[in-house]
Amino acid sequence: MTKEGPARYPYAFNTQASFGGQLSGDVTFLSGIKQNYLSLTHMDRIRDMHEKGKPIVIVRGWITSEPYYAAGCISVGPPFPRGWMLQQLTGQDFRQANIRGMALLEEARQNLTIESCNLVAYLALLKKNKLPVSAVAPCLCTGCSDMAYATVACRTGPIRVPTFFMDYPVNHGYGEWRINYLKTEIRELTEKLGGISGKTVTDEMLEAEIKCENQARRIVRECQKIWWNAKVPPTNSIDNSFVHLGSMGAFDYTVAIQVLQEYLREIQGRVQKGITGTGISSDPARLFICGSCVHPNPAFIDKKGGVIVGKDDQWSVMTMDVKESGDPYENLARAISSHPYERPTEERAEWTVEQVRDSRADGVIFMYNWGCNYQSAVAGMITDIIKERTGLPAICIELGELTRMESLEQSQNRVEAFIEMLR
């Protein structure tokens, strides 16, 4: 973090206001530094696991990770091709890395469509580039309008990547049929994943993974409750991003759980001592963020007098417990069928209202990326319900900077104006 990191990835240590991926400036928060370390080294660790025989599988969303890990696979998101190719070149400064990233995005869109969300467009890089991806196996119909189309695109071109779908029935009125359907889908997906890893996944193996990920989810919930109830924010917005350790496990849940346990102890100590996160104003505007995949620049928000208290997409998975006894496939099916983020829009909004109240937010920002038909369609209704139920200000912001290193002035101006209104 002080020698090798700055030499290999100097862009990651950039501190200009427009850089959306800044590292936290809180050098006294050890578990925050470890989170930064896991972020910087994630490609190194994935490469190491892949060289030891673990297949890399591209997924979508945070519905469930258990089948992938139980089958001995590494589950990564759609931006993986970009990250893999970007980090093949070391020593890039911020400008060089930004230009390289935009070139990869342009290549991806030309191979898919310019109308696609930036995030899933990167799957098209698989069509002309040799990457260590063994399969594309997302859960479809969950929070994304483009993933199905992009996944099908992987079946064409010089490089064809095997695709396995887990279909998520969105009609909640199907009742037990829906549970049985999901149960079958999860079982078939797990068997296919085992086929590419060479493992036969037993019920005991899947149950062990469920217990492991349940532990991570429980720690995340405890951390979030302490953070929300603290008199002052115990960390800044960047260090309040620990939820992802419970949803994707930093590609290694043993490591993720250890860091989460340390995080829990540290924020407990900070709350007891009344310590405020580094870079936070004395009375910041508390912002709850809605929307898939995108969020406002956390360093910019802190600098302008705000703080991010929570984000609905990954957090919603943390509220999902999986029963640990009985048929593991049925238990997973029942858990993900109740996933609040994928409920009918009005029900999702009501759940969000509860999170906004619990987090003691002062305002809500719903962000969605240009090209995302799914989130743009529900943003207005959800923010209207939040305003009606809580009386808090809420704003929708469409942006086109997903996966870009820089935040654009248009989005920053709107976020800054919203914070000023709250204060």
pLDDT in tens, 221-238: 999 999 999 999 999 999
Rounded average pLDDT over 184-211: 96
Structure tokens at 147: 């993933």
pLDDT averaged over every residue in the chain: 91
pLDDT (0 to 100) of residue 121: 85
| Whole-number Å distance between alpha carbons of 74 and 69 | 7
The dihedral formed by the CA atoms of 275, 277, 279 and 282, expressed in degrees to the nearest 10: -50
Structure tokens at 159: 């490089």
Hey, CA dihedral for 43, 300, 287, 222, is it positive or negative? positive
Sorting pLDDT into bands at 50, 70 and 90, what band is 174? Answer: confident
Sorting pLDDT into bands at 50, 70 and 90, what band is 405? Answer: confident
Residues recorded for the chain: 423
Taking a C-beta distance cutoff of 8 angstroms, is the pair 24, 241 a contact?
A: no
pTM: 0.94
Taking a C-beta distance cutoff of 8 angstroms, is the pair 377, 178 a contact?
A: no
| Whole-number Å distance between alpha carbons of 228 and 357 | 10
Say which residue, 184 or 402, is predicted with more confidence. Answer: 184
Most confident of 8-17, 103-112, 228-237, 400-409: 228-237
| Whole-number Å distance between alpha carbons of 103 and 113 | 15
Over 90: is that where the pLDDT of 143 sits? no
Sorting pLDDT into bands at 50, 70 and 90, what band is 388? Answer: very high
The DSSP output letter for 251 is: G
Say which residue, 397 or 153, is predicted with more confidence. Answer: 397
The DSSP output letter for 238 is: T
pLDDT (0 to 100) of residue 61: 63
Question: pLDDT over 90 for what percent of the chain?
Answer: 65
| Whole-number Å distance between alpha carbons of 419 and 416 | 5
Rounded average pLDDT over 13-24: 88
Taking a C-beta distance cutoff of 8 angstroms, is the pair 138, 165 a contact?
A: yes
Sorting pLDDT into bands at 50, 70 and 90, what band is 62? Answer: low
Structure tokens at 255: 């490591």
Say which residue, 60 or 195, is predicted with more confidence. Answer: 195
Taking a C-beta distance cutoff of 8 angstroms, is the pair 126, 154 a contact?
A: yes
Taking a C-beta distance cutoff of 8 angstroms, is the pair 291, 366 a contact?
A: yes
Over 80: is that where the pLDDT of 360 sits? yes
Sorting pLDDT into bands at 50, 70 and 90, what band is 52? Answer: very high
Q: Which amino acid is at 315?
A: W
Over 90: is that where the pLDDT of 264 sits? yes
